[in-house]
Structure 1
Amino acid sequence: MATLPAEPLSAAQASTSLTQGLSDAEAARRLHVHGPNEVLDHEQRSLLRTLRGVLAEPMFLMLLVAAGIYLVLGDLGEGLLLAFFAVVSVALVVFQERRSEHALDALRVLSSPKARVVRSGRVVRIPSRELVPGDIFWVAEGERVAADGVVRDTVALRVDESLLTGESVPVGKRVLTPSGSPGDRDDDSECVYASTLVVAGRALVEAVATGSDTRVGGIGRSLATIETAPTPLERHLRRLVRVFGVLAAMVCTVIVVTYGWLRGDWMQGLLSALAIGMAMLPEEFPMALAVFLSLGAWRLAKIQVLARRPAVIEALGSATVLCVDKTGTLTENRMRLSWLVTDDAEVQMAPGINPPPSVLLLLEFAVLASRPESADPMDRAVLSLGSTMLTGSDALHPDWTLTREFPLSAELLAMSLAWTDGAGQLHIAAKGAPEAIAELCHLDPIRKQTLLGRVKALADRGLRVLAVARGAAPNGVEVGSPRDFAFELLGLAAFHDPLRASVPAAVAQAREAGIAVAMITGDHSATAVAIGREAGIDTEAGVLTGADIEAMGEVALAEAVRRVRVFARVMPAQKLKLVLALRRNGETVAMTGDGVNDAPALKAAHVGIAMGVRGTDVAREAAGLVLLDEDFGRIVGGIRMGRRIFDNLRKVMTYITAIHVPLAGLALLPLLIGLPPLMLPVHVVLTEMVIDPVCSLAFEGAAEAPGLMQRPPRRTDDGLVGWSMLWQGLTQGGWLLAATLAIYFVALDLGRAVDVARTLAVVGLTLGNLMLVGGNVCLGIGLKALVGAHARAYWTVAGIAGATLATAMWEPGMRQLLHFALPTATDLALSLATVALAVGAGITWSAWLNNRTTGLPSTLQGR
């Protein structure tokens, strides 16, 4: 049932309102009163919600328990120190989560949909969140309705309201009755609702409710208590952490019981168990993933590529084929009507020319075949030239009324518009693919051959060619199809759409990266080949047309797309066939699209890429990426960024695995072999103070590997967390564990005090930790990765860690709190040299193992 908060306009008021809309000042006032046109986002994590999540983490709880035990034992200093570390750990996690949330906030602003609104007599595009009640806005096929409203003018509007009603059949809409009442209030046919989808036609709508006042806003309020399900990768990492957590709990229980039973020191056993538990728990896995994906999506957005789903970042690095539209992606989508061709003239459009009457007639009907408010670049080019060349003549027909539209379809690649003049006479104008117009005009074979020859000559120059015809309706006969009219061919209109300057270099870069580039267009084959050749796309195998694709079976098409890289006269439904054929060949497909009918192909592709400016909402929802400025170079830049993000995420996962081996080993092994405890809770936390920031700062900001875009795409079965990565981490961590444990054991064997041996081992572990970070950051890049702006975070963390350890050794109060003692310079130097050699050997050996597994050069081990 429709609910209209305000009485509709009278017919006189509506006429003024529809053309003028609200003034900017009035719109600003209403925006202040009603608030933004957006439903409260319950996905956003507030600071309080972030804090609640952190305080429930096992690591934080174990830290509090350890601090409580020290306080119970009367060790006020150590208890307060652990409590301080607890606060610092909370601050670090909150910083990382808020950093991620701010990145996501920036993405939400970028991804905010746009609305075409009438403001002060002009049609402008504004963010939908700025729409206010009383605004007059346009909706068209493939768009989501921006606000609840009433229909003021429409052409065959049909809306899918299934998200509100559950009914999948689109609903036809009509104009609000002009009597001043909204008609039957039980009938929604005069109303449209926010977030519903326009599946056909277009309309002018008056907004009556925005934001939380809309119907979908009411539904949104009920979603506040529903949690979003984690992705499979997130579930996998959480399961991994849970397994380690259960294992840590079992080990802790055994340690407490064994230590207390054999030595009678239950409190020390509990503290040792807590240290082991904290050391074994790799809680950084899910946090690193969340930080990397959110900041990675933010980095992609900075190069005008919006990642709608985090998983697409992983898929970017493995793309092997890029299927891209020509118009607007490879070209500038800045059409200019450059030639008009009739039977007796061929005129290049230029200022000051005086074309013959046949060319002016051709232009007149080209204008009549273009929708007056069209957003199509060719329509705009025709209308612009028509308004310049036909002004002052009677060829613009301002008194004619658009009576009916026959849109372009898969069966007929032409559109026709029917106009009624002041005397009631019907006039028909059509434009479209020359083959389709030739069919409408029933050309004889000779004239058709002549027409297509001219088309090819123009297309060979890289021009996009349309044919134009005028028609007459049979007297007294109701027509149901353009084929029912009697059409007369008037000539050809040829458009020039220049190639984007960045395209040849970007195509060359993609091919160098092992990625094939395929061009898909609705243009003539000769135009497609000319543009493809200019862009640097492989045209040697020729061109496949939509008709060819339809005629081929699955096997033949799969074989053809192994070689062919240019596809012409392709309809959206045939894009899906191309995607499926490429997938059958084992390719990882990235596909661009903008229309409603492109959605199946975008969804079937491994990486669907929707157009941000001219794309429909349906296409954007089906795609994983949205190209904000529709430049092909951005796609290649997105692949480069995606490869870098994936590389760095693999590196941080390897590092987390590596550092937890010595951390857990040093906490557990001394107890198992009868040595005094080495790692106490405070030492584990000191190490965690290094691990947490480097995960999201040093690794996330690491530079890309040289040759990143010269190596082949990553294999699709090479996942984020795999055995290769785990073995590398275990190898690196094993060497560091062996070195630090040896330092502790040898120091005790040489008669050094326990606190001295502990100091040497913990200092060695910290140096080894920082070296593991540096070594993994350098993999595939070299030592230059530790120089420059990218390395600033690493050196900051290293400097703070070094200063903290130096203070802990030389300041008596800190030494007592940490159970340290001041070692000799010789012992310290030997310990650090031992750790440095061990870490270097571990990283070298892990790279060698990975090289044997993958068969790739060591310079590519950052993959």
Structure 2
Amino acid sequence: MLQEAFSTFVRTHGLERHFQRLAFFDIGKRPGADNTLASTLAKQLVSVSNTPVDGLIASLGTHANGLTESQADKIRQDVGLNEIGQGKAQRWWTHLWHCYRNPFSLLLTFLATVSYFTDDPMGAVVIGSMVALGTLIRFLQETRSNKAAEKLKSMVSNTATVLRRSITEAVLGKSREYFNLPEQQHQVHKVEIPISRLVPGDIIALSAGDMIPADVRLLSAKHLFVSQAAMTGESLPVEKFAQQVNPATSNPLDLDNLCFMGTNVVSGAATAVIVNTGKNTYFGMLAERVLKTDRSPTAFQRGVNEVSWLLIRFMLVMVPIVLLINGFTKHDWWSASLFALSIAVGLTPEMLLMIVTATLAKGAIYLSQKKVIVKRLDAIQNFGAMNVLCTDKTGTLTQDRIFLERHTDIYGTPSDKVLEYAYLNSYHQTGLKNLLDVAVLEHAELQSKLNVARRYRKIDEIPFDFQRRRMSVIVAENEDRHFLICKGAVDEILSVCSRVDMHDASAELTPELLDEIRTVTAALNEEGLRVVAVAARECRPDKESYDVVDEAGLTLFGYIAFLDPPKESTAPAIEALQKHGVRVKVLTGDNDKVTAKVCREVGLTCDAILLGAQVEAMSDAELAVAVERYDVFAKLTPLHKERIVRALRHGDHIVGFLGDGINDAPALRAADIGISVDSAVDIAKEAADIILLEKSLLVLEQGVMEGRKTFANMLKYTKMSASSNFGNVFSVLLASVFLPFLPMLPLQLLVQNLLYDFSQVAIPLDNVDAELLAKPQRWNSGAIGRFMIFFGPMSSVFDIATFALMWYVFRANTPETQTLFQSGWFVEGLLTQTLIVHMIRTRKIPFLQSRASWPLLITTATIMTVGVFLPMGPFAEYFKLQALPLSYFGWLLLILLGYMLLTQAMKGFYARRYGW
């Protein structure tokens, strides 16, 4: 999909500034193949801009009323789908190579090669198997995850409105080309098709909220403003026209009658013909260049990197120490080097990437079952870490269906004239039809007005925008009378009214009448009704084009009032979110009185409401203080919403924003996690990280909980791996000082590490204690480091006990008996490492108060069984192990029991002091 492509290249890659710096001719001046491509495309677009419409339509092989379906199919076969090339899947062998080519796999391969050439083929086989299995698991897991993610993203689709011509049945048998048929034998209709199926030559209709789906030449435009911020860095929308104002313009982005893939319509309406699609667009060319740049890490990836570097720093300290101690004490620097390399591998959480990917994929699949579609897997962690949720009011706190409750004159008395004018306005407008328009058009009383509306001919319209907060249509019933009918927010309508309608008589709008009007509308607001004012005036019949300046000297006829009742699910959802540590804030452009009533009904405190005008007057520092105090914000513009979200983020909050309108797009982009719905406008869905298939805060609350569960399981693995590996290396360090031989051979250490890693592959499926879901969690490398240092050496206490057991009880204290010593520590080390999975996965008593999931129980039990079997079974000699005396296992049970009791006691101390 175009929107996912745009999101992937610009927002997900963190390349907004990169795009803004890539001025068209800067690309053209760079050496290489890009130079020719940019120059050719620039010339083509300039030529398209200056070509007369008839000539352009002819050159594209299309028609003013669009293509037929068969023509579009034929063109699509030639040019392909309207998709960016980045969507092509990796070749499986390329993906397999990427799964292999990490430092850890390369290190293991080096060890396997050295083992093979030092007459240890069995060691080479085991280490090679480790590499192969690790790579294969990651490859299979990522392949499955990628397929799942693509399947989920395909559930969220965007469409475009395109003109299609069809041929009547009477001429289907004729063997003539469609374009040669008489015009009257064609039927023209508007259809919604997926953006990917658009082709050059398609005629499309654009309105506020639409993404521009390809590079297009405008055929008609009415107050069309397009946001090109992602392409040019311009913060304000630019107005586009059907004609090029300055024919000498050579920069494509400055051409007045061209719009580009990836930009979006802020306001107005237009029709356009598609010139270029997919990789042949301006955006497609930039995308190819962006592919050559490195991806900027997301907040989630930065957290993983911090943890990885923490472990690497420990490795860089510990490995040289182990090397030097063993080299000087054993006088075998080659064996010491191999052993130090094995220690490096032991300190490395090889399965971290696989565990993270598997956990995120499992979370995404689960959320899809809860009607939550994840566009970016790593957004799940932000979902769980979110501690502030900003949400729009309409359709989120309230029902997604607004009812036309009243239509009154200026005094609040029912008025059919106001009803008729409102219907004419909603019926004839072609811009963005919001819920209010839908409510007007579907109102039962208005069905009789349909024939009346059809008697009027539309002359022109002045589309809605979020600065004026009103829109107008100009209609004519007779050629000698034009009427401009305007509806919008009360204050904005009053600002262009000079008179009022009083029982079919017109009177001047006096201060006294103005006070009465405000009293009536305030009373309606107090009832929870959203009030829209309706005004009109007669215009000259000879005028065919109208502009914003014509919205003046209007007569106020009255109001239409809408009921937007709260959803039954809203109050319990807000209560649940707040219980789980998510503070809900309402950001709306609606009236403060209506907002206050709705908030009270759903259980949100709104003793004080911050208005958009107050936000406008605040500095960033003042706003940073205000956003902490207020939970309800009303009469906001889109930029106000964005400022509030950014202020919250700068206050060290993880901020989610839920919205579905054009006015929500800036805030969606500014938030840590943008959340939208499948019924949202294109630009809102493009900006979002997560799409809800059901616009409900209850669904959102379930998503937050799954995000936290996903992160909790990732954190489990990181804590387990870090503390266990550090404890193991710490034990090696102590043993190396006193033992006349290596405490464990490199091969044995690698096998133990491999088995331990496989014991944790089911962690993504593990249960999570309710306490861990009670509040948001984030990556904290400092806390992980403290946990590692605290719990790691604890296992060393019992490793030392095992050393003493093997040395003094079983007399494994000479180089000749080192195999017995190594076998004893191999079993004890693997079992304690595996048990730590169950000890650290919960703050509670494992197996009794908190039990792991069955898959995790089975994998850990299997690995413990394999660990005991290796020295006792027929393969012991291959791993340079030997059978242990049966009495050893009695001692082993005591060691494991002591380890579990001490760990449980220290968990309580640690949790009380540092939290869990």
Give the TM-score taking structure 1 as reference length: 0.83
Cα distance in structure 2, aligned partners of 1:104 and 1:474: 58
Q: Deviations over 1:777-805 (max 9, x none)?
A: 23369647875xx7133134224313433
Cα offset, 1:405, TM superposition: 0.3
Q: Is the 8 A contact 1:521 1:570 kept in 2?
A: yes
User: Post-superposition shift, 1:690?
Assistant: 3.6
Whole-Å separation in 1 of the counterparts to 2:131 and 2:672:
43
Partner residue in 1 for 2:707: 642
Q: Does 1:760 align with 2:829?
A: no
Deviations 1:604-636 (A, max 9, x none): 55544455532452x556655554543333333
Give the 3 Å change call, closer, same or farther, for CA 228–455 of structure 1 in structure 2: same
Deviations 1:405-431 (A, max 9, x none): 053443x44322233555163311011
Distance 2:686 2:843 in 1: 37
| Amino acid across the alignment from 1:500 | K
Query: Residue 797 of structure 2: which of 738, 746, 755 is its match?
Result: 738
Distance 1:43 1:364 in 2: 48
Where 1:538 maps in the other structure, the secondary structure is coil
* 2:716 is the counterpart of 1:658: no
Which of the numbers 406, 426, 443 marks the counterpart of 2:482?
A: 426
1:526-537 equivalent positions in 2, closer than 5 A:
526-537=593-604
In the alignment, is the contact (CA less than 8 A) between 1:2 and 1:188 conserved in 2? Answer: no
1:2 to 2:49 alignment: no
1:401 equivalent in alignment to 2:466: no
Amino acid aligned to 2:436: M
User: How much does 1:244 deviate?
Assistant: 4.2
C-alpha distance in structure 1 between counterparts of 2:263 and 2:640, whole Å: 27
Could you tell me which residue of structure 1 aligns to residue 788 of structure 2?
Answer: 729
Partner of 2:320: 250
Change (3 A) 1:439 1:281: closer
Residue of structure 2 aligned with 1:469, choices 530, 535, 556: 535
| Identity across matched positions, percent | 23
- Report Cα offsets for 1:677-705 as digits up to 9, x if no partner: 2322332332333444455x433333332
Aligned to 2:437: 379
Deviation of the 1:173 alpha carbon: 4.0
Q: What CA distance in whole angstroms lies between the structure 1 residues aligned with 2:102 and 2:829? A: 25
Cα shift at 1:655: 0.8
Counterpart CA distance in 2 for 1:851 and 1:419 is: 73
Q: Which of 736-745 and 568-577 deviates more?
A: 568-577
SS of residue paired to 1:731? helix
- Determine the C-alpha separation between the residues in 2 that align with 1:334 and 1:449: 32
- In 1, Cα distance between the equivalents of 2:215 and 2:116? 61
- Name the counterpart of 2:856: 794
1:389 to 2:453 alignment: no
Given the superposition, is the C-alpha separation of residues 266 and 441 from structure 1 closer, same or farther in structure 2, using an over 3 Å criterion? closer
Match of 1:826 in 2: 887
Instruction: Pick one of 127, 130, 133 that aligns with 1:88.
Output: 133
The alignment partner of 2:586 has SS state of strand
Structure 2 residue aligned with 1:458: 524
Q: Does 1:17 align with 2:83?
A: no
- Structure 1's unaligned 5+ residue stretches are 178-182, 348-355, 855-860
The offset of 1:305, in angstroms, is 4.6
The SS at the match of 1:41 is: helix
| Secondary structure of residue in 2 paired with 1:431 | strand
Q: Which amino acid aligns with 2:220?
A: D
d(CA) in 2 for partners of 1:563, 1:202:
40
CA distance in structure 2 between the aligned counterparts of 1:585 and 1:164, rounded to whole angstroms: 29
The answer to whether residue 506 in structure 2 is matched with residue 436 in structure 1 is: no
SS at match of 1:2: helix
Could you tell me whether the CA contact under 8 Å between 2:148 and 2:361 is conserved in 1?
Answer: yes
**3-state DSSP class of the match of 1:326?**
coil
Partner of 2:572: 505
User: What secondary structure does 2:841 align onto?
Assistant: helix
Contact 2:418-2:534 within 8 A present in 1 as well: no
What do residues 502-560 of structure 1 show as CA deviations (whole Å, max 9, x unaligned)? 21210111222343323233333332222222222223x15444345456777886776
In 2, the alpha carbon distance for the partners of 1:322 and 1:161 equals 28
Q: CA-to-partner distance for each residue in 1:273-293, whole Å, 9 max, x for gaps? A: 332232233444555555545
Return the match for 2:197 from 93, 112, 130: 130
Matched residues in 2 for 1:492 and 1:645: separation? 50
Paired residue secondary structure (2:763): coil
| Shift of residue 640, structure 1, vs aligned partner | 2.1
Offset from partner CA, 1:12-37 (integer Å, 9 cap, x none)? x977735xx644x7656655554332
Cα distance change on mapping 1:552 and 1:659 into 2, 3 Å: closer
**Partner of residue 404 from structure 2, selected from 327, 337, 346:** 337
Query: CA shift at 1:371, angstroms?
Result: 1.6
How far off is 1:666 after superposition? 4.6
Alignment deviations for residues 244-300 of structure 1 (CA, whole Å, 9 cap, x no partner): 4544653465367436xx54x555444433322322334445555555456555655
Give yes or no for the alignment of 1:101 onto 2:146. yes
The separation in 1 between residues aligned to 2:95 and 2:322, in whole angstroms, is: 28
C-alpha distance in 2, partners of 1:775/1:554? 47
Task: Name 1:351's counterpart in structure 2.
Answer: none
| CA distance, structure 1, for counterparts of residue 795 and residue 622 of structure 2 | 56
For residues 367 and 41 of structure 1, what CA distance do their matches in structure 2 show?
41
8 Å contact kept, 1:244–1:281:
no
What is residue 115 of structure 1 aligned with on the other side? 160
**Residues in 1 aligned to 2:461 and 2:291: alpha-carbon distance in whole angstroms:** 46
2:867 pairs, out of 794, 802, 805, with 805
Instruction: Give, as a single letter, the amino acid of the residue that structure 1 aligns with 2:44.
Output: A
Provide the C-alpha distance between the structure 2 equivalents of 1:114 and 1:826, rounded to a whole number of angstroms.
Answer: 72
**Paired AA for residue 236 in structure 1:** E
In structure 1, how many angstroms separate the alpha carbons of the residues matched to 2:896 and 2:321? Answer: 27
TM-score (norm 2): 0.79
The offset of 1:329, in angstroms, is 1.6
How do residues 131-280 of structure 1 correspond to structure 2 at under 5 angstroms?
Answer: 131-159=198-226, 172-175=239-242, 189-231=256-298, 232-247=302-317, 250-251=320-321, 253-254=323-324, 257-258=327-328, 262-263=330-331, 265=332, 268-280=335-347
* Aligned positions, number: 822
The verdict on how the C-alpha distance between 1:562 and 1:160 changes in structure 2, with shifts beyond 3 A counting, is closer
1:736: Cα distance to partner? Answer: 1.9
Instruction: Please state how far the C-alpha of 1:818 moved relative to its aligned partner.
Output: 1.6
In the alignment, structure 1 residue 770 sits paired with structure 2 residue 834: yes
Structure 2 runs not aligned, ≥5 long: 1-42, 167-187, 499-508
2:339 alignment partner AA: S
Q: Is the 8 A contact 1:141 1:201 kept in 2?
A: yes
CA contact (8 A) 2:743 2:822 kept: yes
- The 1:675–1:301 alpha-carbon spacing in structure 2 relative to 1, beyond 3 Å, is farther
Cα distance, 1:580 vs. partner? 6.2
> 2: distance between equivalents of 1:546 and 1:142?
22
CA distance 1:591–1:374, shift in 2 (3 Å): closer
Quick one: distance in 2 between partners of 1:170 and 1:545?
Answer: 24
Taking a change above 3 Å as real, the CA distance of residues 829 and 207 of structure 1, as seen in their structure-2 partners, is: farther
Within the candidate set 696, 705, 711, 2:769 is matched to 705
1:704-750 CA deviation, whole Å, 9 max, x = no partner? 321456x4555xxxx51333332323333322222133213312322
2:748 is the counterpart of 1:683: yes
Change (3 A) 1:614 1:720: same
Q: Structure 1 residues 659 and 138, CA, compared in 2 at 3 Å: closer, same or farther?
A: farther
Residues 50, 97 of structure 1: 8 Å contact kept: no
Query: Residue 438 and residue 54 in structure 1: after superposition, are their counterparts in 2 closer, same or farther (change >3 A)?
Result: closer
